[in-house]
Amino acid sequence: MNKGTIKIGVATAAVLFMNTAAVAGGDIMEPVVYTEEPAKVVDWTSKHKFFGFSQIGVKFGDGAKLGDDAEIGFEADRIRLGWKYFSGPLAAKVFLDFAKDGTDNGGIGVPDLVKDAFISYKFDDAAVLKAGVIKTPVGMGFTIPGWNLDVIKRGFDKKLAFERAFGLMLSGRDIGYGNNGKVDGLEMGHERPWKGFGYDLMVSGATGRSGAVNDPGKANQSNAYMGRLMYDWGQELHAEVSYGVTGNADGDNDSTTGEDYKVFNAGIDSHFDRANVKAEYYDVENIRGVKGWDMQTLALTGTYYLTDTLEAAVKYIGGSGDKGTLSADASNIYLGLNYYINPKNNKMDRKSRRARNRHRIQVNYVLASGDTSDFDQLDAGAFYAEDAVLLQYQFKF
C-alpha cells in the first residue's frame, strides 16, 4: 500500500468519526446546517424609455371660432417629448410640450412647458404614491392621453377639469379580482383594461392651469382636493366618478367674494370588437370663483373600424351654462374619419389602439348649433360657434 492511499484512508476515517457518536456514550456530533436565508441582492438596474408625439393641424372656415378671421388656420395642438424611468418599485416621468409657454408658470410653480414631472413609489397595485406635477384625476376624457383621442379636439368641457397641478396623489388599480393587468406606477387614467376597482386621491397646490380657475400667480396660494373611484371589467366596461374642489378660484387672495370652484364628473368607456362608445357628464359650480357661473355638459362618442386602417368617429358635446343674467345652450357635433398609416397590427381592442395611433390622419367636420353666440360668451373653451373643418396629422414614437 503506497503513502497516497494511506493518506486518503486516514482523511476518510476522520470525516466518518466526526459524524459518528463516540463509543463511550459521548455527545453526538451533528452536521452543521445553515438555517438563515442568504442575503438578497438588491437589483439596482434601471430602465429608461424616451418617447414623444406631435399633432399638426389645419382649420378651414371663415370665423370657425368667434374672433378668428383667417379662412385657413394652422396650429399645433401638441409637440411633446418625454422620458420614463423605472427601477424596482420606483418610477418617474417627465413630459414637455414645446407648443406651450416656457416662462408662464400657470400658478403651479413650473412653466406651462412642463406637462408632467413626478416620481412614484409602488407599494402594491392598490397603493402607489406619486409626488410632483401630475395630471389631476377629475374628468374621464381629460385623463385620456392626447394622442389617443377619437376626434381632433377634446371639446369645450376640457376647461372644466383642473388640468395639471403640483401635489401628492395616492392611487390604486386592478383591485379585487387578482392581477389582470400591468400596473407600473405611472397611471393617470384608465390606460389598460383591468378588472376590479381603482381610485385616486390627490391634494395639490393652486390649480391655475385650469380654464375654470384664475391664475393666482402663486403656486401655494390655495389647495385643491380631488378623488376618483373607478370600476373596470376588461374591454367591456370602464366606469368612474370623480369630485374636486379648489379654493380661491378667482385668483385673488384678498377677495372676500371669491367662491370655491367645484366639479363633479362621471364617465363610461366600453369597447366591443371593432366599436367603442363613451359617455361623460360634467356638473360644475362657481367657475373662476364667480358665484352662479355654472355649467353642465354631456359628451357622447362612438367609433367603428370600417376597415383595418379606416375608422369612423362621431362625437356630440352639448352644454348648458349660466352666468348672472346670461343663460345659453349649445352643442358641437364632430363627424370624423381616422386613417391609420402603416399600423402595427390589425387588432382593434383598447390596449392595441395605443400602438395603432403612431401614425394617423384625422379629418373632422364640426357642426355648431344652439345659442352659439351667447354660449361663446360663457367662455366655453374649445367651443366652435360656427361650422368648421379640421385636419390633423399625428406622429408618435
- pLDDT tens track of the chain, all 397 residues? 555 444 444 444 443 344 444 444 444 445 555 556 666 655 678 899 999 999 999 888 644 444 556 678 888 899 999 999 999 999 999 999 999 888 887 789 899 999 999 999 999 999 999 999 999 999 999 999 999 999 999 999 999 999 999 999 999 999 999 888 899 999 999 988 899 999 999 999 999 999 999 888 777 788 999 999 999 999 999 999 999 999 889 887 666 678 999 999 999 999 998 999 999 999 999 999 999 999 999 999 999 999 999 999 999 999 999 998 899 999 999 999 999 998 888 887 777 777 788 899 999 999 999 998 888 888 877 888 889 999 999 999 8
Residue 96 in any domain: the answer is yes
For residue 29, give Cα distances in angstroms to 14, 19, 35, 137, 176: 13, 6, 17, 66, 53
Residue 204 in any domain: the answer is yes
349 neighbors 193 (Cβ within 8 angstroms): yes
Residue 46 in any domain: the answer is no
Give every CB contact of residue 211 below 8 A, 6+ residues apart in sequence: 158, 159, 160, 163, 379, 381
Q: What is the pLDDT of residue 9?
A: 46
169 neighbors 127 (Cβ within 8 angstroms): no
pLDDT tens for each residue of 302-342: 999 999 999 999 999 999 999 988 999 999 999 999 999 98
The alpha carbon dihedral of 103, 104, 110, 114 has a sign of negative
Q: What is the pLDDT of residue 104?
A: 81
Note down the domain range covering 156.
59-396
Q: What is the pLDDT of residue 349?
A: 79
Residue 315 in any domain: the answer is yes
Residue 377 in any domain: the answer is yes
Counting the structural domains of the chain, the total is 1
Q: What is the pLDDT of residue 304?
A: 96
Residue 368 in any domain: the answer is yes
Q: What is the pLDDT of residue 176?
A: 93
Q: For residue 197, what is the domain's CATH number? A: 2.40.160.10
Length of the chain: 397
Single pTM value for the model? 0.85
Residue 32 in any domain: the answer is no
Residue 86 in any domain: the answer is yes
